[in-house]
Amino acid sequence: MTISTRDIAYQVDGLGMVAHLARPSGQGPWPAVLIGHDGVGLDAYQRSRADDLAAHGYLALAMDYHGGQTYFGRPDAMLARTMPLLGDEKRMQAIGRAAFDILLAEPGVEPDRIAALGYGAGGRIVLELARTGVPFKAIAVVHPAFPPANAHDWTGKTGTVLLCTGSEDPICTPEQVLTFGRALQEAGLDWRATIHGGAKHAFWARPTHPDGSPAEGATHAEATVPGVGYHPEAAVRAWQAVLDLLDETFTSSGVERA
């Protein structure tokens, strides 16, 4: 499927954000997906997730919550920006809502058929949106930062939730995934989990040289937080799990599958 892309500039959290929008060819209407990038920032991989979703028939917006900055190779700067944000749910909700409103305003979006996808801190942002009552039909989070696992926060909420991490992730552990999943279950939500054996945190992030060209192996040449490692098989399988969730949620109402 042919797609088109463009950047969208907007203001929130005192910063000028630049989101990445990808849309299928044609007028739609299209189901839509809001994407939250991980703590490093809105990089080429996160943009490519929006592009791939558009190729599958979804209108996708990858939000920005770092003001156009990326922090790969600068873990201290990344943590200085991200950790205070994760400690302030109102800021996360405002950042997520600003991007969600932009997505809703895009021509061709079906407002009652919207899903969310989040990585790392971006996973926490989309979970915060859902916790406030945004009616996502599906939510996929990959090694997210979790809110407190309180069932009452999710009582009355709807949508199927996919929780994904690696078995060797010290930041988003399988135990955290199951604890949060049990809270969703107690609240009556449909949820599933995928634990990728041998995978660490940010297992989808391929190592690169300082100039951005791909590097061999699983170890990052530039500085990262502890526990990060590339796992190509897990990257492919996790993405397929996301596509399967969206396909299950939306195909019955007409989404084309590539």
Q: Has residue 258 been placed in a domain?
A: no
Q: Has residue 83 been placed in a domain?
A: yes
Do 64 and 17 touch, CB atoms closer than 8 A? Answer: yes
CA atoms within 13 A on the CB side of 57: 15
Domain extent for 135: 3-253
> What is the model's pLDDT at position 41?
96
pTM: 0.94
> What is the model's pLDDT at position 211?
64
> What is the model's pLDDT at position 80?
96
Q: What is the pLDDT along the chain (258 residues), one digit of tens a residue?
A: 899 999 999 999 999 999 999 999 988 899 999 999 999 999 999 999 999 999 999 999 999 999 999 998 899 999 999 999 999 999 999 999 999 999 999 999 999 999 999 999 999 999 999 999 999 999 999 999 999 999 999 999 999 999 999 999 999 999 999 999 999 999 999 999 999 999 999 999 988 766 667 777 777 767 688 899 999 999 999 999 999 999 999 985 444 444
- Angle of the 75-86 helix axis to the 89-105 helix axis, nearest 10: 90
CA atoms within 13 A on the CB side of 3: 23
Q: Has residue 219 been placed in a domain?
A: yes
Do 40 and 71 touch, CB atoms closer than 8 A? Answer: yes
Q: Has residue 128 been placed in a domain?
A: yes
Q: Where is 179: in which H helix or E strand?
A: helix 174-186
Bridging pattern class, strands 59-62 and 15-24: antiparallel
3-state secondary structure of 127: helix
Q: Has residue 182 been placed in a domain?
A: yes
> What is the model's pLDDT at position 217?
74
Q: Has residue 104 been placed in a domain?
A: yes
Domain count, the chain: 1
The CATH number that applies at residue 92 is: 3.40.50.1820
Q: Has residue 35 been placed in a domain?
A: yes
Q: Has residue 214 been placed in a domain?
A: yes
**CA 194 to each of CA 8, 120, 177, 229: distance values in angstroms, whole numbers, following the listed order:** 33, 15, 9, 17
> What is the model's pLDDT at position 253?
46
